[in-house]
A and B are shown apart, each in its own frame.
Chain A
Amino acid sequence: DVKVTQSSRYLVKRTGEKVFLECVQDMDHENMFWYRQDPGLGLRLIYFSYDVKMKEKGDIPEGYSVSREKKERFSLILESASTNQTSMYLCASRVGGHQNTGELFFGEGSRLTVL
Chain B
Amino acid sequence: KNQVEQSPQSLIILEGKNCTLQCNYTVSPFSNLRWYKQDTGRGPVSLTIMTFSENTKSNGRYTATLDADTKQSSLHITASQLSDSASYICVVGGGSQGNLIFGKGTKLSVKP
List the interface of chain A (C-beta within 8 A of B).
Answer: 4, 40-45, 90, 92, 98-104, 106-109, 111
Min CB distance A4 to B, Å, is 7
Min CB distance A10 to B, Å, is 10
Q: Which residues of B contact A92 (CB under 8 A)?
A: 43
19 contacts between A and B (CB under 8 A): A41-B104, A42-B89, A42-B102, A42-B103, A42-B105, A43-B44, A44-B102, A90-B44, A92-B43, A101-B31, A102-B93, A104-B36, A104-B44, A104-B46, A104-B100, A107-B43, A108-B41, A108-B43, A109-B43
Number of A-B residue pairs with CB-CB distance less than 8 Å in the complex they form: 47
Main secondary structure of the interface of A (DSSP, over half): loop
Main secondary structure of the interface of B (DSSP, over half): strand
B98 CB-CB contact with A under 8 Å? yes
Tell me the bound Cα distance from A103 to B47 in angstroms.
10
Min CB distance B108 to A, Å, is 15
Q: Is the CB of B42 within 8 A of A109?
A: yes
Q: Which residues of B contact A40 (CB under 8 A)?
A: 104
Tell me the bound Cα distance from A44 to B97 in angstroms.
17
Q: Which residues of B contact A98 (CB under 8 A)?
A: 98
Tell me the bound Cα distance from A44 to B101 in angstroms.
9
Q: Is the CB of B103 within 8 A of A103?
A: no
Tell me the bound Cα distance from A10 to B34 in angstroms.
28
Q: Mark B25-61, 1 if CB is under 8 A from A, else 0.
A: 0000001101010000111111001000000000000
Tell me the bound Cα distance from A108 to B100 in angstroms.
20
Q: What residue in chain A is nearest B31 (Cβ atoms)?
A: A101
